[in-house]
Structure 1
Amino acid sequence: MHQPTTKNRALLILLAAVTLAFGAILLPLHGAIFWGLVLAILFAPLHRRLLARLPRRPTLAALLTLGACLLIVILPMLAVATSVVQEAGGVYQRVRSGQVNFGDYAQQIWSAMPAWMLRILESLHLGTLGELQTKLASFGAQATQFLANQAVSAGSNTLEFIVNFGVMLYLLFFLLRDGPQLAARIRNAIPLDEAHKRELSAKFITVIRATVKGNVAVAATQGALGGLIFWILNIEGPVLWGVIMAFLSLLPAVGASLIWGPVALYFLATGSTWQGITLVLYGIGVIGVVDNVLRPVLVGKDTKMPDYVVLISTLGGMALFGLTGFVIGPVIAALFIATWDLYSPPARIG
């Protein structure tokens, strides 16, 4: 019995070593691989319908599904990204040229402040207009420096983006065409009961679909609504601010208000009362309702996770993995709950 046990241990050590090595090789492309997998899961139902109509042409069905993914998801996102880059460049140039002056904004807000608010500012050591202008000028300099660094970074990472984009599309095609066979091999290799594997696999797919569709739907809706009201109120760069609100909406409850809230306060402080009141009512009654209504329905309902678990796992995932973490965090949380449910004994009542 000793010799087979030794061979099994050696095989497990070799398996762990080559798996870690292969993971290290794939690590630089983890974003492309992850989003290729996510898009394959999201578009799998469409691919199955096409494959039912083209049973003897799986490659064509995969190509048609890939084309649908390009038209529905990828090309619109690239178009929005192009508009954002153009508007961000315009804002950056106006800040550099002095057309956008934070000191002027401070002067307008300062003159509209009541006495009690000025006393609060004094307690915060912002008691003079000069001090406030200095701090805002410093903030403006830091913001422009950040924009400049991001522009340089974006230019230097163009080749990396093209490579990752190509890898994602290439991998997506093969995951669509050969995904069921690959998934079956992975399931067969996992040393768990078949029922457990089916349950964990179903939970994994359900959480990815619910999280991506739910968060993306909420983000796109809030960003579009925010950009629309900014355009109506003639606020410069509505597409840029709409996209920023969409990204911030990944933070449940408070996300988009971090943009429209200060703008509304600026309107109210500078005498643009109807614009400020309109933006406040619209932000609370329209943008806020989208987050409070759609997110629990689209994310929490399908994942069967409490809202606070969705919130904590989303924030923690984004802190660890960046933007991709808004999917990875809830997936890990759902698998954690599902795994413990498999092995926890049923509760006894009475």
Structure 2
Amino acid sequence: MADELPTDRPPPGTPGLVGLIERSVVLLLVLGLLVGVGAVLWPFTTAILFGATLAVAAWPLRHALVSRGLRPGLVATLLLLLAIILVVLPVLAMAPVVSDQLVRGSQVIREYFATAPPPPAWLTGLPLLGDRLARIWNELARAGGNLATALAPYSATLQQALLGAARALTASVVQIALSLVVATMFWINGATLAQDLREILLRLGGPTAAEALQAAAGAVRSVAYGVIGTAAAQAALLALGLALAGVPGATSLGFIGLLLALSQIGGPLLALIWGGAAWWLFGQGEHGWGIFMIAWGLLVSTVDNFLKPWLIGLGVHMPMSLTILGVFGGFIAFGFLGLFIGPTLIAVAFILLQAWRAETPR
């Protein structure tokens, strides 16, 4: 019997070892491929995420136009033109206006401090900042309102800050242009990409994964409407109140308010705009309009407390507390894009948790 056994048979366990080595090599190759793809796409991560956010936010409008018989390419072109009109053109139009207002503001400051007025009592009485603000006030008064002379000791710091701001502005312009390109690509081929992604998720995680994809899209869309819609409403109300009160540069100040409201953290700084306008009105003897400006400014600063949650809750079917937590937590963790990433992650986790709870234990 021993002579009949094959002598070239491999030792027991060898085929399993060979298969393990082969699978390990394939796994390493796949990981290397993913790392390479990630390295290639990493410089464009912000543009891809922001472009996908724009595409998801405008998807209902794209779907409505395509349903009426328009070709996806034509719809993508129309949406791109609409995005340029709503985003790029206002910035280009407001840039010279804001620059002119800054020049005029510096002239007003120079004329005011030319008489060397003493700092007001309320300014010096501010906690923590009173002494520093009074010192800056006195330096401006000694310099006759000349900002360049007063800020000369801080020239190196200001130069670094301006260079950093210029670099950030340039990078932002490039990222916005790339985001519009990415959004246009999604508007053209988004339906096919969404279907492919849905099929992949169905294969990997079943219906629950596909439902999580829908929840993620709804979260992104709702946060876009909530953040941008609330900021636009606040800026419009602010500009309207300033114009009614006769404050010069109402449009420019409203545009600055829009940027502050979009930044979320800068939202409370809106009080500096309408508070400064009220101060100017009181100084002009317009006490009635000054009181109106204070009341109107309080409305502008508090309108987001109920408008933003309502807009965000239109498309996210989860507790409002989790949505707000995702908005602010995402902003703190990831910056501006975190406004969309945070609620999306929480929405997906909430859907998976609900599916796990609904599943019958074996």
Q: TM-score range by the shorter chain?
A: 0.7 to 0.9
Structure 2 unaligned residues grouped into runs of 5+: 1-15, 142-146
Name the structure 2 match of 1:100.
Answer: 109
2:239 aligned with 1:221, yes or no? no
Query: CA 1:328 to 1:237, structure 2 compared with 1: closer, same or farther past 3 Å?
Result: farther
Contact 1:47 1:61 in 2 (8 A): no
Question: Structure 2-normalised TM-score?
Answer: 0.74
Contact 2:48 2:179 in 1 (8 A): yes
Structure 1 residue identity aligned to 2:288: W
Offset, 1:32:
2.2
Question: Structure 1-normalised TM-score?
Answer: 0.76
Q: Which moved more, 1:14-23 or 1:143-152?
A: 143-152
Which of 24, 29, 32 in structure 2 is aligned with 1:17? 32
Contact 1:309 1:333 in 2 (8 A): yes
Name the structure 2 match of 1:262.
Answer: 275
User: For each residue in 1:56-110, what CA deviation from the matched residue of structure 2 results, as whole angstroms up to 9, or x when unmatched?
Assistant: xxxx622222233234332122122123321332244346x65434974998794
Structure 2 residue identity aligned to 1:133: N
Which of 286, 292, 295 in structure 2 is aligned with 1:278? 292
Query: CA 1:132 to 1:72, structure 2 compared with 1: closer, same or farther past 3 Å?
Result: same
Name the structure 2 match of 1:34.
Answer: 49
Offset, 1:289:
5.3
Offset, 1:24:
2.2
Structure 1 residue identity aligned to 2:23: N
Name the structure 2 match of 1:209.
Answer: 221
Equivalenced residues, count: 333
Structure 1 unaligned residues grouped into runs of 5+: 55-59
Contact 1:214 1:295 in 2 (8 A): yes
Which of 315, 332, 336 in structure 1 is aligned with 2:328? 315
Query: CA 1:333 to 1:261, structure 2 compared with 1: closer, same or farther past 3 Å?
Result: farther
Q: Which moved more, 1:195-204 or 1:9-18?
A: 9-18
Which of 335, 338, 344 in structure 1 is aligned with 2:348? 335
Q: Which moved more, 1:218-227 or 1:337-346?
A: 337-346
Offset, 1:277:
1.0
RMSD: 4.0
Contact 1:319 1:325 in 2 (8 A): yes
Contact 1:83 1:240 in 2 (8 A): no
Contact 2:113 2:140 in 1 (8 A): no
Structure 2 residue identity aligned to 1:258: A
| Distance (Å, rounded) in 2 between the aligned partners of 1:10 and 1:224 | 60
State how 1:94-173 maps to structure 2 within 5 Å: 94=104, 98-101=107-110, 104=113, 110-111=119-120, 113=121, 117=122, 120-121=125-126, 126=131, 132-134=137-139, 148-149=162-163, 152-153=166-167, 157=170, 161=173, 164-165=175-176, 167-173=178-184
2:76 aligned with 1:66, yes or no? yes
| Distance (Å, rounded) in 1 between the aligned partners of 2:287 and 2:164 | 35
Please say which structure displays the higher CA radius of gyration. 2
